[in-house]
Chain A
Amino acid sequence: MAETMSGAVAPQTRRPMTMKRFVRRRSTIAFFMALPLILLIALLVVYPAFFSMYLATLNKSMERFVGLGNFEFLFKRDTFWMVVKQSCIFAVSAVFFKALIGFVLAHFVHTIPAKGQRKWRGMLLVPWVIPPAMSTLGWFWLFDPTYSAFNWIFVRIGIDPVNWLGEPFWARFSVILVNIWYGAPFFLIMYLAALKSVPDQLFEAASIDGANWWQKIWYITLPMMRNIISITVLFSLIVTFANFDIVRILTSGGPVDQTHVFATWAFNLGIQGNDIPLGASVSLFMFPILGIAAIFILRGVNKRGNEA
């Protein structure tokens, strides 16, 4: 607010926005610098997303508009609801264990002296760094129906071999296990970063007050990490719901469709079954649900950020 020599408040005058000034504004520069990325996202994410929505409104031969007819059809199919259930079991259990293991590991690594920590961090990140299609092939050989390396060991120690990928329960267990193995390091690194940002003084004060290990976690660590936990869980939930490679390589959705998740079933229907609109509808089913979840989680994060 400008003040005149006499102390009276002068009316705010707005200088006319010239082209030169517009271009020199920081927000304009920022926009132009981000423009290549925005265009890239528009091309590779927004366009395919809208195209997929358009495809989901067509009939099987893609010649007629059917509105929500494909969803209506899906809702009447038992297999669809089985895939919904499996996708939820897969995503929720995998994310829960990834978060839990990541949290525990982050605490262990955090307690390691700084000198040796880098080595451990590097080793624990390996599963996340290897391309999942490649590491899943390794897991496939461990679970191989006939020549499983795990079973080879089991037989030698007197345990009956397990039909890892042939029994519905074990097949589900296997795909979830591989997803946890692959995704836990992401949680580890995020939680480790969050842990490092918690001021040591808080723990020292709690120790002086007589807080035990559990109370420190419950009253200091968890509240301080709430935002990062929310964001990582949300991010991981979205990625895990959309998982394709692990299930595709390990089981292809079998036995009897009992490990299919949205992406693998959509591929099966859309590409292999030549029903692209139905495949698009399956892959879009979770979009509104995850969208609403994202809004609530991010609103909570924002709220806590403002309170802070």
Chain B
Amino acid sequence: MTAGKSFNRRRFITTTAVASAATLGAPYIRTAHAAGSLSVGFWDHWVPGANDTLTKLCNEWAAKEKVDIKIDYITSQGSKLQLTAVAEAQAKSGHDIIQLASWDAPNNAKNLVPVDDIMKAAIAKNGEAPPVVDYLGKVDGHWVAVPGTNGSQVKVPCGRIDLLQKYAGLDVVKMYPGQGGKPDTAMQDQWTWETFLSVAEKCFKGGNPFGLGLGQTTDSVDWVGALFHAFGADLVDAKGNIVVKSDATKQVLEYAQRLVKVLPPDVFAWDDASNNKYLISGQGSLIMNPPSAWAVAKRDNIKVAEQCWTFPAPKGAKGRFAPGLPYFWGIWKWSKNVSAAKSLLTYLSQRSSVEQMVAASGGYDIPGFSGLRDFKTWAETAPPVGTVFNYPPRADQIVSMAGTPAPVRIAQQIYTQATMTKMIAKCTQGGESIDKAIAWAASECEGFMRT
């Protein structure tokens, strides 16, 4: 520091007075970020490039609305997305908008700004939200979060055209063709869980079994949930009554006992990556998964990718259920810029924005509105052309989540504790009787009732 020009008291007062006068007297200029700032925590997409499109959309909106936007992409690996939401809910601070994985939307209802206004406008333009989105996104008749396009998925069968034809004579392309093709409705009617088992047996004998996990992670829980729903086997009903001790539950477990015999013996230890690897390696003839497995096969094993075809799940006595896993965008109550947050979510829920997100994800993302299931991405994605045309649930498919129709606080426990896959494990690998597995599940459900 130089001693020549000392900053004495008189000089300090003069400088401060001049600076204050200049600040107060200056005319208001609308700057690039006049509408304040917005901080967003989005899920970090698996598909390379999908985040870039979302960033581009957000930046376009921010430039138009003069908002300074900051986006963090949070991975779901190691439950980081969920941990972030929990931490922010505890600290009552963090992002303005946070992406919430399925159950976290209703769980955080008391911390979220109601978004009935956004949803009313979005439903009017994009069609109704499917029942599962309604079940998770609405609490006490009010929307607490907006269905997020990025990350929302269904886990329908992705089978090998060649292997299913070779071992079981099942022409999946004929049954569920791509755009412009005439679906074989007779075949679709016969596409039941019994047919599924018969095809699984043939593929097992042929040396390329179905790859269906029975572990405790979401991929396993989701497809088993759809199986239970198809048989009408609920553990807890919508009123919160334990109804697991039913004929339907016995039937589904008897079915599972037959199915497990033709699955790889290690399925009880599978995680969410195991089924993907099983298909991509060329070993598996069918898995139940979003098209991420196909996308990786396209990169790593093109010969497998060229034979992959995604199509609806089989139907059971109660219908054809597609295992769904919707994501949501919520606005924290402590957000300092709720109006900007609502404006962004409205923008991202527009058809053009949703279509860009779906295209960027290669068709992986499933929009949370029934009127947005006709994008050309699903028709054009290749190889083979139309491989994911039947991925978005249409026609007779009911998107469901394991654990429903129980009230959310109970259904979430059934889901996260993987009660249904454990029931199957108990009466197959564990060697217990079906009655004992059901009694165990009933006792577990009693524990899930706590408030």
A residues whose Cβ falls under 8 Å from a Cβ of B:
59-61, 73, 77-79, 145-147, 163-167, 171, 251-257, 267-268, 271-276, 278
Contacts and interface: CB of A to CB of B under 8 A. Distances in A.
Interface in B374-416: 409, 412-413, 416
Interface string B256-273: 000000001111111100
A255 B425 contact: yes
A171 B216 CA distance: 14
Given A60-B409, A145-B269, A251-B269, 16 more contacts: A73-B450, A145-B264, A145-B266, A145-B267, A146-B264, A146-B278, A165-B266, A254-B215, A257-B422, A271-B82, A272-B79, A274-B103, A274-B104, A274-B107, A275-B413, A276-B86
A145 B216 contact: no
Interface in B58-98: 79, 82-83, 86
A273 B413 contact: yes
Contacts of A77: 447
B266 A272 contact: no
Q: Determine which residue in A61, A145, A275 has the highest number of CB atoms from chain B within 10 A of its CB, and name it.
A: A145
Given A166-B268, A273-B417, A253 B450 contact: no
Given A60-B409, A77-B447, A252 B217 contact: yes
B443 A59 contact: no
Contacts of B447: 73, 77
Nearest to A268: B416
B416 A252 contact: no
B270 A145 contact: yes
Contacts of A257: 422
A255 B417 CA distance: 12
Interface in B255-296: 264-271, 274, 277-278, 281, 283
Q: Determine which residue in B267, B269, B451 has the highest number of CB atoms from chain A within 10 A of its CB, and name it.
A: B269
Nearest to A55: B90
B412 A78 contact: no
B268 A255 contact: yes
B275 to A, nearest CB: 10
B429 interface: yes
Nearest to B414: A273
B450 A165 contact: no
Interface residues of B, number: 38
B177 to A, nearest CB: 32
A146 B274 contact: yes
A305 to B, nearest CB: 43
A251 B416 CA distance: 15
B119 to A, nearest CB: 23
A165 B269 contact: yes
B426 interface: yes
Please list the 8 inter-chain residue pairs (A to B) with the smallest Cβ-Cβ separation, ordered nearest first.
A166-B269, A145-B266, A165-B269, A145-B269, A255-B268, A272-B416, A166-B268, A166-B266
B206 interface: no
Contacts of B131: none
B181 interface: no
Contacts of A256: 268, 422, 425-426, 430
A171 B269 contact: yes
A78 B443 contact: yes
Contacts of B274: 145-146
Given A146-B264, A272-B416, A255 B86 contact: no
Contacts of B278: 146
Contacts of A251: 269
A272 B83 CA distance: 9
B451 A61 contact: yes
B216 A59 contact: no
Interface in B306-336: none
Contacts of B266: 145-146, 163, 165-166
A165 B444 CA distance: 24
A147 B277 contact: yes
B273 to A, nearest CB: 10
Contacts of A255: 215-216, 268-269, 425, 429
A194 B82 CA distance: 45
Nearest to B217: A252
A275 B429 CA distance: 29
B90 to A, nearest CB: 8
Contacts of A166: 265-269, 429
A254 B268 contact: yes
Contacts of B215: 252, 254-255
A272 B418 CA distance: 11
B173 to A, nearest CB: 28
A267 B79 CA distance: 10
A15 B450 CA distance: 65
A143 to B, nearest CB: 9
B10 to A, nearest CB: 38
Contacts of A167: 429
Nearest to A276: B86
Contact of A253 (B86, B103, B216, B277): B216
Contacts of A254: 215-216, 268-269
A77 B444 CA distance: 8
Contacts of A268: 416-417
A128 to B, nearest CB: 22
A154 to B, nearest CB: 14
Given A254-B215, A254-B216, A272 B82 contact: yes
Contacts of A271: 79, 82-83, 86
Contacts of A78: 443
Contact of A60 (B429, B444, B451): B451
A70 to B, nearest CB: 9
A252 B417 CA distance: 11
B145 to A, nearest CB: 15
B277 A146 contact: yes
A61 B450 CA distance: 10
A273 B269 contact: no
Contacts of B271: 252
Given A147-B277, A253-B216, A255-B215, A59 B451 contact: yes
A145 B416 CA distance: 22
A148 to B, nearest CB: 9
Contacts of B217: 252
A145 B217 CA distance: 14
Contacts of B281: 147
Contacts of A165: 266, 269
A60 B408 CA distance: 13
